[in-house]
């Protein structure tokens, strides 16, 4: 693979504009080469061959006279470097002193300087952000260890003085671990003692941003007051009294209890259960922070390599010796000489191994540096096998229908009214899974970090091959049942069908549900439970705080209204119908018609409640407008369903009007708000915010902009910890 392709493949998508434009610089070098060829004097080729022969001869015999230092200096004087100050910042500028008529080389070095200054400035800003986040994580680790003090001290089964001294040393070690890599100015300002520090929850009056505070109240954290960190030594007992835990309203019971008590926060008891929750959240924060460090380090390495490659190509074309002095300037710059990221990575590894992996280095490193999941040949083979079986069964089904002329059979109408709704449920599911597999394929192709966006546990996310395996496996089972159930022959005496074949659809549904809720670690248990959790959160809306996986799943369910109605038909057909005779009276039942109407609007209703919850949590009016879209859809679907059962001109007119309104509103929302069509300023407004919601983050990702996600893993006293998408 050429370096240009490798450089493109290693880019962080959200930082694409911040990388060096390697391809454009190569085009400038091609222009220089073309100019050299046109203006090359006669006999230049012979001179070049003679120089090459002398070079090869020198390499073997050493008889040629070495180049004098003065000649080398004159040769290196084609470019000179200086640092200029513009707008309060230092910039590197290269001055070209080559031959006259080399305007192409002047343009090349001007563009090269612009790219280098851009890369160096971006890298400096990222390092500065990393140091700020390291300081926040530093205080959060202090708070965590102090929390451990309160938990272990509550049992009263150990020597307090000795145990407190040990935990105090842990605080000092964790504080030194992350602060050792900070800049000199920060170290001078933070020359505090490494003893126990005051860890205290800041009052809500000292919060500067009210909207940010309301978001922070819903995350379970250990809070640290930065303004209250003093240089005096504080005793362990005083430290314990200042550690507090903010309640997380994670379950419907806690949310209802909080609403009845009219208190957003309640002081909890310090138990090991709460300690484990906080440790898991802080463990995730350290993991994401380490991944950001790896990205910044890779950014520096790849750009330095790109500058080296482009200068070597320049020397090859112009026969100059400019690469060595230019790369010396690059090596002396902040981009190449900064070792703070490397040191910080070492400190994070040491802290993570000690506090989150029980001092087991191999275990901690495996968590921080997860190996990419390898594609198994068995999955690929099984996917192909199931796909081939599905195609073969589908062809066999068409052949049987055509050879037996089943569509003109006496029971064909009855079959289509009963069996087709039963089996079309699996058709909807398989089609949806195939579309999802296509999404996963494109996410991986364009390096979208979907496992992080959706919150999958690292290494358990399904790839497109696994999704295709499940979809083709289900399709093979469903088509096999259709062939087995395609028996139109009826017992002339009893006029009933075989019970075994008639129960095949129900058996397949029970089998799928049993696999979905199976507690054993088979068939991707982590993904199955993640799906069930998101489904439960959607059903319980608005009692849960809405996250991206929750409303993403509910958006998918709004497209599966007919599949939900088919599932309702299962209950009616096998519960109150006569499946032996393929007869049912579902459509004449008022109960069935009522649920037929309710099932159509349930997905939109859940999505509407999620929008209301987000409007309450985020105080963002855009969520209210989004909820209005689903409310119009609920009214339109309700009127259309009512018109199906009660024909009338009034219902028909209302159904047409509200269906048109819902279609226009939803189309405008998808094209303009979600996709950003004809909305050039929406991207800029979202980027300027300190944080953006999960839905806004997906909009930014789709436009290749820098995505920031509000994780709120562990909160400090002033603001929520923010990470960006890798």
- 361/349 Cα distance (integer angstroms): 9
Residue 95 pLDDT > 90? no
- 540/254 Cα distance (integer angstroms): 13
- 726/15 Cα distance (integer angstroms): 10
Residue of higher predicted confidence among 485 and 91: 485
The 8-class DSSP code of residue 547 comes to -
Tokens of 92: 């590197």
- Alpha carbon 235 to its chain's center: 43
Q: What is the pLDDT of residue 390?
A: 95
Confidence of residue 2 (pLDDT cuts 50, 70, 90): confident
Bond from prior residue into 224 cis (ω within 30 degrees of 0): no
Residue of higher predicted confidence among 697 and 94: 94
Q: Where are the beta strands (DSSP E) in 510-655?
A: none
Do residues 383 and 390 touch, judged by C-beta distance below 8 A?
A: no
Confidence of residue 315 (pLDDT cuts 50, 70, 90): confident
Do residues 177 and 350 touch, judged by C-beta distance below 8 A?
A: yes
> Over the stretch 138-190, which tens digit does the pLDDT of each residue have?
888 888 887 787 777 765 554 445 544 555 555 555 555 545 544 444 443 34
> Over the stretch 473-529, which tens digit does the pLDDT of each residue have?
999 999 999 988 877 666 666 666 777 778 889 999 999 999 999 999 889 999 999
Q: In the beta sheet, which residues pair with residue 91? A: 84
Interval 112-120 mean pLDDT: 90
Give the range among 79-83, 103-107, 296-300, 317-321 with minimum mean pLDDT.
79-83
> Over the stretch 709-725, which tens digit does the pLDDT of each residue have?
333 223 332 222 222 22
- Alpha carbon 198 to its chain's center: 36
Q: What is the pLDDT of residue 593?
A: 83
- 108/29 Cα distance (integer angstroms): 7
Residue of higher predicted confidence among 165 and 216: 165
Contacts of 385 (CB under 8 A, 6+ apart): none
Confidence of residue 258 (pLDDT cuts 50, 70, 90): low
DSSP secondary structure, 187-202, as one string: HHHT---SS-----PP
Listed by start position, the domains of the chain span 144-270
Q: What is the pLDDT of residue 333?
A: 87
- 84/359 Cα distance (integer angstroms): 49
Q: What is the pLDDT of residue 301?
A: 92
Give the range among 164-168, 210-214, 462-466, 717-721 with minimum mean pLDDT.
717-721
Residue of higher predicted confidence among 185 and 612: 612
CA distances from 628 to 390, 542, 604, 651, 673 (A): 42, 16, 11, 21, 14
Give the range among 185-189, 201-205, 489-493, 547-551 with minimum mean pLDDT.
201-205
Interval 41-52 mean pLDDT: 50
Quote the pTM value.
0.70
Beta strands 708-710 and 89-96: pairing type? Answer: unpaired
């Amino acid at each position: 693979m050429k370096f240009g392709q490798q450089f493109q493949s290693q880019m962080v998508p959200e930082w694409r504009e911040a990388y060096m434009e390697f391809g454009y610089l190569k085009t400038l070098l091609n222009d220089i080469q073309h100019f050299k060829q046109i203006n090359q004097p006669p006999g230049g080729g012979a001179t070049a061959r003679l120089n090459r022969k002398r070079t090869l001869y020198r390499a073997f015999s050493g008889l040629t006279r070495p180049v004098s230092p003065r000649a080398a200096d004159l040769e290196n004087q084609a470019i000179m470097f200086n640092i200029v100050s513009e707008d309060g910042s230092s910039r590197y500028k290269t001055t070209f002193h080559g031959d006259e008529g080399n305007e192409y080389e002047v343009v090349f070095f001007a563009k090269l300087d612009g790219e280098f200054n851009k890369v160096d400035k971006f890298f400096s800003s990222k390092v500065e952000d990393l140091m700020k986040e390291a300081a926040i994580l530093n205080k959060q680790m202090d708070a965590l260890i102090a929390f451990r003090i309160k938990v272990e001290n509550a049992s009263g089964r150990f020597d307090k003085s000795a145990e407190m001294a040990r935990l105090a040393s842990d605080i000092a070690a964790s504080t030194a671990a992350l602060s050792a890599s900070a800049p000199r100015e920060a170290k001078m300002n933070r020359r505090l003692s490494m003893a126990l520090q005051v860890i205290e929850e800041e009052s809500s009056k000292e919060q500067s941003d009210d909207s940010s505070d309301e978001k922070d109240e819903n995350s379970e954290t250990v809070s640290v007051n930065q303004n209250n960190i003093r240089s005096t030594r504080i005793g362990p007992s005083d430290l314990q009294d200042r550690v507090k835990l903010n309640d997380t309203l994670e379950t419907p019971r806690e949310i209802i209890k909080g609403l009845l008590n009219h208190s957003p926060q309640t002081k909890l008891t310090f138990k090991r259960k709460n300690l484990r929750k906080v440790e898991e959240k802080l463990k995730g924060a350290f993991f994401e922070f380490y991944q950001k460090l790896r990205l910044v380090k890779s950014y520096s390495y790849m750009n330095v390599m790109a500058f080296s490659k482009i200068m070597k190509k320049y020397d090859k074309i112009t026969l100059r010796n400019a690469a060595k002095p230019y790369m010396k300037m690059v090596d002396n710059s902040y981009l190449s000489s900064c070792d703070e990221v490397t040191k910080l990575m070492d400190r994070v590894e040491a802290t993570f191994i000690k506090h989150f992996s029980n001092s087991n280095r191999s275990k901690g490193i495996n968590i921080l540096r997860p190996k990419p999941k390898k594609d198994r040949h068995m999955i690929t083979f099984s996917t192909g096998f199931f796909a081939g079986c599905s195609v073969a069964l589908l062809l066999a089904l068409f052949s049987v229908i055509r050879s037996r002329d089943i569509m003109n059979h006496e029971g064909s109408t009855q079959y289509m009214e009963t069996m087709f709704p039963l089996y079309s449920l699996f058709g909807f599911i398989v089609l949806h899974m195939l579309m999802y597999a296509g999404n996963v394929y494109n996410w991986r192709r364009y390096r979208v970090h979907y496992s992080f966006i959706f919150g999958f546990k690292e290494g358990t996310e399904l790839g497109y091959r696994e999704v295709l395996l499940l979809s083709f496996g289900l399709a093979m089972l469903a088509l096999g049942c259709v062939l087995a159930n395609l028996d139109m022959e009826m017992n002339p005496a009893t006029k009933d069908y075989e019970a075994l074949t008639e129960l095949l659809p129900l058996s397949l549904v029970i089998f799928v549900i049993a696999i979905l809720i199976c507690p054993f670690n088979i068939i991707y248990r982590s993904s199955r439970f993640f799906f069930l959790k998101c489904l439960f959160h959607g059903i319980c809306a608005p009692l849960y705080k809405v996250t991206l996986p929750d409303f993403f799943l509910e958006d998918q369910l709004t497209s599966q209204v007919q599949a939900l109605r088919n599932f309702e038909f299962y209950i009616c057909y096998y519960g109150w119908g006569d499946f032996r005779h393929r007869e049912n009276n579902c459509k004449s039942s008022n109960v069935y018609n009522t649920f037929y109407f309710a099932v159509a609007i349930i997905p939109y209703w859940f999505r509407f409640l999620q929008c209301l919850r987000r409007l309450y949590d985020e105080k963002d009016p855009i969520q209210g407008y989004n909820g209005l879209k689903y409310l119009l859809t609920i009214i339109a679907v309700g009127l259309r369903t009512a018109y199906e059962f009660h024909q009338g001109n009034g219902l028909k007119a209302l159904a047409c009007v509200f269906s048109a309104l819902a279609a226009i509103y939803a189309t405008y929302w998808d094209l303009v708000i979600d996709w950003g069509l004809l909305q050039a300023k929406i991207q800029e407004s979202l980027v300027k915010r300190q944080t953006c919601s999960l839905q806004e983050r997906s909009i930014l990702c789709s436009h290749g902009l820098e995505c920031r996600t509000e994780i709120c893993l562990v909160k400090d006293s002033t603001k929520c910890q923010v990470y960006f998408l890798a």
